[in-house]
Each structure stands twice: as C-alpha cells, then as structure tokens.
C-alpha cells in the first residue's frame, strides 16, 4: 500500500531530530508545506509530512469513510520507521489525536511530540453539541451523508470554525479548494468510540491550543494537558489552523525550541 510522504532532507547528517508532521481531518500534507516545513528546514532539520490513508496520493486499506484511527496510527508508525535517526512528531487536530494513540507504543527513535489544537483524549462531545446548536441543518446533513464537507466547504462557516477573522480571502479560497472528505468512522472514534488509553507519556510532549479555536476549546486543551500532568500553552488570538495564520512563526519557534533545546 502506497503511503505518500513529502520530505525535504538536509544535505548533510546533523544532530538535530527530523520533524514528522501529521495533518488533521479533511486536510493533507499540504497544510505544512509553505510555512512549517520551510521554517524547520531552514533551522537545520530534515522535514517530513505524511498524507494519511486516502489523503493526497496515499492509498488506503479500506474506503475513506470507514478508515479507522488505528489505520492512521499504522501510517504514522510506518513513516517513523522509514526515517533514520531521532524523530520529533508534530500533529494538528486529528493528527495530534493519532499521536496520542501512537505513543502507547512508540519507536525508540521518537524523542518527543507537539500536539497543536489536538482532538482531546477525553473526546469531542462538546464540539458535537456546539455544531448541533450553531449549525443544526448542516450537522444533520453531514451525519446523513457521513461527510463533514457540508459544514466545511463554505467560506463563512470555515472561517468561524477553523480560521482567524483576518485570514486573507484569497487564501481562504485556496484552502477550501484543498479540503477533502474525511473518515466518518474517525470522527466517531475521536468523539467517543476510540479514545487514547495512554496515561503516561513516554516522551516529552508540548501541548498547544488556540484562544479562539471553535473546534477544540481552551478548556478541552487544558483538560487534556492535566490528564497527562502537563501545562498547556494557549496562543492568544489564534484559531484552529494556527500553522496557516498570522503569527505562525512564533508557534513554529516555540516547537523548535522544545524539539531541539540545545
């Protein structure tokens, strides 16, 4: 089964960990390419971004609709195994949820992780209620179609749930064109069906949330951090897709310092 991994490797071996990026729901490796991948490469890291099963050009073991988080964990495991030397994981939203599952039994060369606006370890019940309250018609439509694109493929709704108010309109159109459908089973698993069992994190983990994140509230981010005995870092003024927004450089630098403190 073909797994697409976009990479940019340093021309010479360094002592810095490689950075492996894992995208969130309805997205792909493209979400990291312009900003984070270039930033970390310029700082001396080899960088890799995975397209999870049935995303981008990656193949899947089953149809996208019924792809499980366990398949995404397997993708992550295979990607880590393909990289030589120490690896630091960076996961956004569903990607952060996937990392939490993966850390139940990580490879020995994984040295740490950053969870950005991650789906929380206790599930997405609060989000489900919010969507029912604010978008009842589109929520029902999404459930009946087993697709969240009715909610996402609209500029006004997309901006409210994923992006800052000042996000450039021309970039908004580009993001909408790149969004794809997501596994409906994975959404159910993030809600309540397959929550992470790991309680002790075997590697250092940085947990970052966004002040104005509609999808993952500050309260959910802090609750998740508390479960793991960690502090959470909330980015002021940021929304869910903070790697695409104004101020992304500060977020990237915080992660870089955590991943390579020397």
Structure confidence by residue, pLDDT tens digits, 179-195: 999 999 999 999 999 99
Residue range 128-138, pLDDT digits in tens: 888 889 988 98
Which residues form the domain of 249? 5-259
- CB proximity list for 258: less than 8 A, separation 6 or greater: 112, 114, 204, 206
pTM: 0.97
Please give the C-alpha separations between residue 31 and each of 179, 186, 224, in angstroms, as whole numbers.
10, 19, 24
Q: Is the pLDDT of residue 100 over 90?
A: yes
Instruction: Let me know how many helices (H) and strands (E) the chain has, helices first.
Output: 12, 7
If one counts the domains in the chain, the total is 1
Handedness of CA 10, 14, 115, 111 (dihedral sign): positive
pLDDT band at 139 (very low <50, low <70, confident <90, very high): confident
Which two structure tokens, joined as six digits, stand for 95? 């990607």
pLDDT average, residue stretch 162-173:
91
Residues facing 90 on adjacent strands: 21, 114
- Give the CATH number of the domain where residue 44 resides: 3.40.50.1820
Average pLDDT of the residues of the chain: 95
Which pLDDT score is estimated for 15? 92
Please state the φ and ψ torsions of residue 17, each to the nearest 5 degrees: -70, 145
Handedness of CA 82, 88, 94, 98 (dihedral sign): positive
Which pLDDT score is estimated for 153? 77
């Amino acid at each position: 089964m073909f797994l697409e991994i976009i990479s940019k490797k340093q021309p010479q071996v360094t002592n810095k960990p490689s950075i492996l990026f894992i995208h969130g729901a309805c997205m792909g490796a493209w979400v990291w390419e312009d900003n984070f991948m270039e930033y970390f490469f310029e700082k001396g890291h080899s960088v890799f971004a995975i397209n999870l099963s049935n995303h981008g050009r990656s193949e899947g073991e089953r149809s996208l609709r019924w792809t499980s988080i366990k398949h995404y964990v397997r993708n992550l495991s295979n990607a880590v195994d393909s990289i030589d030397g120490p690896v630091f994981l960076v996961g956004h939203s569903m990607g952060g949820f996937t990392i939490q599952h993966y850390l139940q039994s990580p490879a020995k060369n994984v040295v740490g992780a950053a969870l950005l606006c991650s789906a929380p370890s206790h599930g997405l019940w609060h989000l489900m209620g919010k969507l029912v309250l604010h978008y009842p018609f589109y929520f029902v439509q999404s459930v009946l179609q087993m697709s969240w694109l009715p909610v996402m493929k609209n500029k006004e709704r997309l901006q409210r749930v994923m992006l800052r108010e000042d996000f450039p309109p021309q970039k908004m159109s580009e993001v909408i064109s790149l969004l794809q459908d997501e596994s409906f089973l994975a959404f159910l698993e993030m809600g309540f069906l397959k929550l992470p069992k790991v309680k002790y994190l075997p590697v250092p983990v940085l947990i970052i949330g966004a002040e104005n994140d509609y999808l993952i509230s500050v309260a959910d981010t802090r609750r998740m951090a508390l479960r793991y005995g960690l502090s959470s870092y909330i980015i002021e003024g940021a929304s869910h897709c903070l790697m695409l927004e104004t101020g992304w450089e500060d977020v990237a630098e915080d992660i870089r310092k955590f991943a390579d403190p020397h």
